[in-house]
């Protein structure tokens, strides 16, 4: 089991070893001017730190920008009058990119973050979109969730925070969204669970996510889309072909869960690099329907 602050060793052939900067932008050994921008978007209840294990593998090849969605992590929520739909969240991230001088970035997202990435593509703010177990591609709105473990977790936050230092408790919590709990450092597991508890924007975004669906009709043909579904995902099933944007590449990621970044960082990094490499970079592309 990994200790606090540790993590699994990348597999042989893993890509690069950059370091994450404090503002969420990764710093790598290459000249930043030679790397295309890549925005990483976390899922519902998470925050940008969920990408920590893959940022060092991506940063030598892309200018990595990992941002908190409004209402998550350190980011304030959207104004009360704005429904936090995937499109609204995408608009807020587009504005943040513009403030950084980035008009169009490659985008990779997980779960709700993948849906937000697809909306950025529809807005013309994405060069490519790589979706890891995307939300919103179900056939009809899924409706309200019965019961809320989060309500009890908020009430018992001090106890939950302390209990997550205990290995078996941490592994049981992580097993709801990951396939390989021992790969998760205690620090990373606690950060994710506590981010879920503390997220000011969670309830609104969760409600909006459950009341709407992604519409693939008329999706821009000039935005390459990769949909990578985690084989051991307990949260969402693989989207049917008619629910995907036309021409989207579909992959199955073996032996990883809904939040796969710590399960297999090298695999996730490779899929993202290949997805963003579909825009004329000459990087190899995995075969349709299989993992790289």
Q: pLDDT tens for residues 228-268?
A: 999 999 999 999 999 999 999 999 999 999 999 999 999 99
Cα–Cα separations (whole angstroms), residue 131 to 34, 76, 256, 271:
24, 24, 14, 10
Q: Give the model confidence (pLDDT) of 83-125 as tens digits.
A: 999 999 999 999 999 999 999 999 999 999 999 999 999 999 9
What is the pTM assigned to this prediction? Answer: 0.84
Which among 175, 25, 199, 187 has a CA at the least distance from the CA of 112? 199
- Separation between Cα atoms, residue 292 and residue 275, nearest integer Å: 11
How far apart are the C-alpha atoms of 118 and 216, rounded to whole Å?
9
Which residues lie below 8 Å from residue 150, measured CB to CB, with a gap of 6+? 45, 196, 197, 202
For the chain, state the CA radius of gyration: 18
Neighbouring CB atoms inside 10 A of 3's CB total: 9
Buried residues in 29-47 as b, exposed as e (16+ CB within 10 A): eeeeeebbbbbbbbbbbbb
pLDDT for 31: 53
Which of 45-54, 204-213, 233-242, 283-292 shows the lowest mean pLDDT across its residues? 283-292
Domains, in order of start, for the chain:
19-276 (3.40.50.1820)
DSSP states of 119-161: HHHHHT-EEEEEEES-SS-SSS---PPSS-HHHHHHHTHHHHH
Ramachandran quadrant class, 133 (left: phi over 0; alpha: psi -120 to 50; beta: rest): left
Give yes or no for a contact between 263 and 174, defined as CB atoms under 8 angstroms apart.
no
Q: Quick check: 225 and 118 in contact, CB under 8 A?
A: yes
Contact between residue 271 and residue 286 where contact means Cβ atoms under 8 Å apart: yes
Spatial distance between the Cα atoms of 24 and 38, rounded to a whole number of angstroms: 12
Q: What is the pLDDT of residues 143-186, one digit of tens each?
A: 987 767 888 888 899 999 999 999 999 999 999 999 999 999 99
């Amino acid at each position: 089991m990994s200790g606090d602050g540790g993590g699994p060793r990348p597999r042989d052939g893993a890509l690069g070893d950059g370091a994450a900067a404090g503002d969420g932008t990764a710093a790598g050994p290459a000249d930043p001017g030679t790397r295309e921008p890549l925005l990483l978007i976390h899922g519902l209840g998470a925050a940008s730190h969920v990408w920590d294990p893959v940022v060092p593998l991506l940063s030598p090849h892309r200018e990595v920008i990992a941002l908190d969605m409004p209402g998550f992590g350190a980011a304030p929520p959207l104004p009360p009058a704005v429904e936090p739909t995937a499109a609204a969240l995408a608009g807020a991230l587009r504005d943040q990119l513009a403030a950084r001088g980035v008009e169009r970035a490659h985008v990779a997202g997980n779960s709700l973050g993948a849906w937000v990435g697809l909306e950025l593509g529809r807005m013309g703010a994405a060069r490519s979109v790589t979706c890891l177990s995307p939300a919103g591609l179900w056939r009809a709105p899924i409706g309200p969730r019965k019961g809320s473990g989060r309500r009890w977790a908020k009430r018992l936050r001090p106890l939950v925070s302390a209990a997550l230092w205990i290995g078996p408790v941490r592994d049981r919590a992580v097993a709801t969204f990951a396939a390989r709990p021992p790969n998760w450092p205690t620090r990373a597991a606690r950060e994710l669970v506590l981010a879920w508890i503390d997220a000011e924007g969670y309830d609104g975004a969760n409600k909006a996510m459950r009341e709407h669906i992604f519409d693939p009709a008329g999706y821009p043909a000039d935005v390459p889309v990769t949909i990578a579904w985690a084989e051991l995902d307990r949260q969402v099933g693989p989207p049917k072909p008619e629910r995907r944007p036309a021409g989207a590449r579909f992959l199955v990621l073996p032996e990883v869960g809904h939040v796969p970044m710590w399960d297999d960082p090298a695999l996730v990094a490779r899929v993202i690099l290949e997805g963003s490499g579909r825009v004329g970079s000459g990087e190899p592309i995995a075969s349709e329907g299989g993992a790289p």
